Structure 1
Amino acid sequence: MGAEGDIPDEARVILRSLASCWTDVADPKAMQVVRLKGAMTNKVYQIKWSTDPGEQSRKVLVRIYGEGVEVFFDRDDEIRAFECMSRHGQGPRLLGRFANGRVEEFIHARTLSAADLRDPEISALIAAKLREFHGLEVPGRMEIILWDRLRNWLSAAKSVCPPEEAQMLRLEAMDEEVSCLEEELCRGNHQCIGFCHNDLQYGNIMMDEETRSITIIDYEYAGHNPVAFDIGNHFCEMAADYHTDIPHILDFTKYPDLEERRRFVHVYLSSSGDEPSDFEVEELLQDIRKYTLASHLLWGLWGIISAHVNKIDFDYMEYARQRFQQYWLMKPVILGSSDAHHGSTDNSGSVFAL
């Protein structure tokens, strides 16, 4: 059975209803289904119908939710964020919902690649778009979600881990790590809080090649957080390429160097129209660097849980080990050295293929 057989009957009813409304589609039942690669949690399909000669084919996206994801986020919260983004013109429109998924507008733009994140022009476009995203007024909880999410995921990870696995991953030390990290990172009242994407990997960013406009998609993990966390998490994602034969292997030598980080932050801050001071740039750079530690812990825990609840072909446990190893490697560099607070040491490490 091919990709077409993966689409639930409930979704097919929605798809045929949509296609019936398009006068240029001859046969609403004659749809082509193509599985799109790179999704880490869900299964995503492009649905296409042939149209009258000379007309562009009709396309939509079907997203089938992954198993066990309710431990990570509240689906109703995600749908509310999705609908809010649509109202703000920030993402695809919601076209229909079914029991374990939804139908979305197909955006005629290309999904970015791992290499695109390092392109100075594209990186600047992402920085400006992210500043706009962070400024959106989104209904729902206004509180920072990072620390509760870390503790909830840690509890879930402990509940699914066998004792020997938990010992190998040092889960017994994580409660104290989270508390110490929260105390260290929440000092002072200078940090900017915004509506954050919290999963800004290249697969969640699309670009229109003609207009060069950026669209940020997939809001499953979105919520209010320090913007420094969102940017730091984005920088960490530059170590990943999910379209290789070994998509779980991370190369932290690809973490952006200080010049790249400073350029991103300068564009981010100046995109509002005001030129930032050197102090503002350096202060945000320092905060971003610290929040990479929270990113490593969060996605390490995500990897552990996913290894036990998700059947997608991805070595989640190996991914988790690498994120934790990078955390323990970089913690003394970032928090334990006065030099680290001035950006003299890069947040890079070796390639971990454990």
Structure 2
Amino acid sequence: MANYIHVPDEAPAVPKIDVTVDESDCRAGALQLMRELRPSWKPSEVKIKFFTDGITNKLLGCYIGAVMQDVVLVRIYGNKTELLVDRENEVKSFRVLHAHRCAPRLYCTFNNGLCYEFLQGTALEPEHIRSQPVFRLIARQLGKYHAIHAHNGWIPQSDLWLKMGKYFTLISQYYKEPEQNDRLSMEVPSPQCLRKELVWLQQSLSLLGSPVVLCHNDLLCKNIIYNRREGSVKFIDYEYAGYNYQAFDIGNHFNEFAGLNEVDYKHYPDQDFQLLWLRSYLEAYKEHKGQGGPVTDREVEILYVQVNKFAFASHFFWGLWALIQAKFSTIDFDFLGYAVLRFNQYFKMKPEATELNLPELKNPTPSSSPLPPALSPIQAALPPHTMIAEGPLEVCVEKS
């Protein structure tokens, strides 16, 4: 979808610097970048701080002086992440969001990464994102994101199904380590099961009517920076940003209440909390869209159903993602175990999410929504030998 993200003419140009940073010895490459971006800095005075929270890339900050004021962040792409991330799309999203005052400035790209402005504030933890007033700030900021209009009134389309179809074709059925292969066969649903679930998701969720908007798509705690002094939040890391279903972005954020390193889905927000969050979100979304009138209970109820159906789809998305990372990533993280967690939670949430129904109209009219095509985007993205015939789908059971 990169070609469909329009960067405003007034957005600053982003130079490309011909430097490759060695992820095992970052300093030399980082100093080369600083010579271009901060030529007044003496190389001997440049300090480097390594950040350890990310599980996709490596991140470090360059600065001089006793305090971190003017900091240039250097992000080094993880091994084979180009299979998962559209880097052209990332840069365009970064520039669009900066033009709308929703993102820091992107200083440059380089051969295997990019450099951008450091935002002052605190990267949040799971306990912070449900607290007052932080959760309302997050809801309103996301509403602002989602209200960014497409170029010239173009009606965007989500590439969620094509992306998940691509991920499915990239998952490995074999790993180098025998222990990993044992876990894969014992704990991860079979490719046949995953394939059927993938098509069922597309057929079910595409008809919910969730608007397609410019989404962050990876709103975990550490990607939210809270500035207490200003009373504001900003989101960082736009690798997965792009046009997607509004409800996916929100449901994906709710899943992140469980944390990352010590995942506990008991922290998934309950209905009362969600209704408060969603009302704050809709107030900001309608305000930025220029849609008059107060938020109605029915609007909140509709969004609640959409969000909780897409929330369990986000488990499936990141489960596929983690299986790919388990094969290629050099970062010390149990990606295979993370995939097991996400797929288990997917099957645990599925019955309850499936039972949710959109509130009926008081004066119902015939639906104008088209039926799913004979060949869905998911099916079209899969190799010929993985095509699925139309008709009832088998129920897949999670592995314990």
Same-fold call, TM > 0.5?
A: yes
Residue range with higher mean Cα deviation, 105-114 or 59-68: 105-114
Contact 2:172–2:327 at 8 Å: present in 1 too?
Answer: no
**TM-score, structure 1 normalization:** 0.85
Structure 2: segments with no counterpart, 5+ residues:
1-21, 288-292, 360-399
Alpha-carbon distance in structure 1 between the residues aligned to 2:124 and 2:74: 19
Could you tell me how far 1:141 is from its partner in structure 2?
9.4
Could you tell me how far 1:11 is from its partner in structure 2?
3.5
Task: Give the counterpart letter for 1:264 in structure 2.
Answer: W
Alpha-carbon distance in structure 1 between the residues aligned to 2:44 and 2:106: 21
2:47 matches 1:32: yes
2:48 matches 1:48: no
Alpha-carbon distance in structure 1 between the residues aligned to 2:86 and 2:58: 18
Match in the other structure for 2:160: 146
- The counterpart of 1:90, out of the listed 102, 114, 120, is 102
Q: Secondary structure at the match of 1:115?
A: coil
Alpha-carbon distance in structure 2 between the residues aligned to 1:231 and 1:118: 14
Instruction: Provide Cα deviations, 1:204-227, integer angstroms capped at 9, x if missing partner.
Output: 111222111211111101111111
Match in the other structure for 2:251: 232
Q: What's the Cα RMSD here?
A: 2.6
Match in the other structure for 1:193: 212
Could you tell me how far 1:84 is from its partner in structure 2?
1.8
Contact 2:23–2:58 at 8 Å: present in 1 too?
Answer: no
Could you tell me how far 1:37 is from its partner in structure 2?
1.9
Residue range with higher mean Cα deviation, 296-305 or 264-273: 264-273
Instruction: Provide Cα deviations, 1:121-150, integer angstroms capped at 9, x if missing partner.
Output: 101000000011011236699320111111
**Residues 53-92 of structure 1 correspond to what in structure 2 (within 5 A)?**
57-92=69-104
Q: Secondary structure at the match of 1:20?
A: coil
Structure 1: segments with no counterpart, 5+ residues:
344-353
Match in the other structure for 2:118: 106
Alpha-carbon distance in structure 2 between the residues aligned to 1:5 and 1:177: 39
Match in the other structure for 2:203: 183
Contact 2:89–2:242 at 8 Å: present in 1 too?
Answer: no
* Structure 2 CA distance for partners of 1:128 and 1:101, relative to 1, 3 Å: same
Task: Give the counterpart letter for 1:144 in structure 2.
Answer: S
Instruction: Provide Cα deviations, 1:307-335, integer angstroms capped at 9, x if missing partner.
Output: 11101111111111011011111212221
Instruction: Provide Cα deviations, 1:217-260, integer angstroms capped at 9, x if missing partner.
Output: 111011111111100000001111x4xxxx1x421100001111
Task: Give the counterpart letter for 1:65 in structure 2.
Answer: Y
Contact 2:84–2:167 at 8 Å: present in 1 too?
Answer: yes
Match in the other structure for 1:292: 311
- The counterpart of 2:323, out of the listed 295, 304, 320, is 304
2:210 matches 1:208: no
* Structure 2 CA distance for partners of 1:5 and 1:68, relative to 1, 3 Å: closer
Identity of aligned residues (%): 31
Contact 1:67–1:310 at 8 Å: present in 2 too?
Answer: yes
Residue range with higher mean Cα deviation, 93-102 or 275-284: 93-102
Alpha-carbon distance in structure 1 between the residues aligned to 2:105 and 2:23: 23
Task: Compare relative contact order (CA 8 Å, sep 6+) and give the higher one, 1 or 2.
Answer: 2
Contact 2:123–2:223 at 8 Å: present in 1 too?
Answer: yes
Task: Give the counterpart letter for 1:44 in structure 2.
Answer: L
Residue range with higher mean Cα deviation, 121-130 or 170-179: 170-179
Q: Secondary structure at the match of 1:62?
A: strand
* Structure 2 CA distance for partners of 1:238 and 1:91, relative to 1, 3 Å: same
Could you tell me how far 1:159 is from its partner in structure 2?
5.8
Instruction: Provide Cα deviations, 1:37-95, integer angstroms capped at 9, x if missing partner.
Output: 211201111111027xxx97432111111111011121111111112222222111111
Alpha-carbon distance in structure 1 between the residues aligned to 2:268 and 2:299: 22
Could you tell me how far 1:16 is from its partner in structure 2?
2.5
Residue range with higher mean Cα deviation, 171-180 or 281-290: 171-180
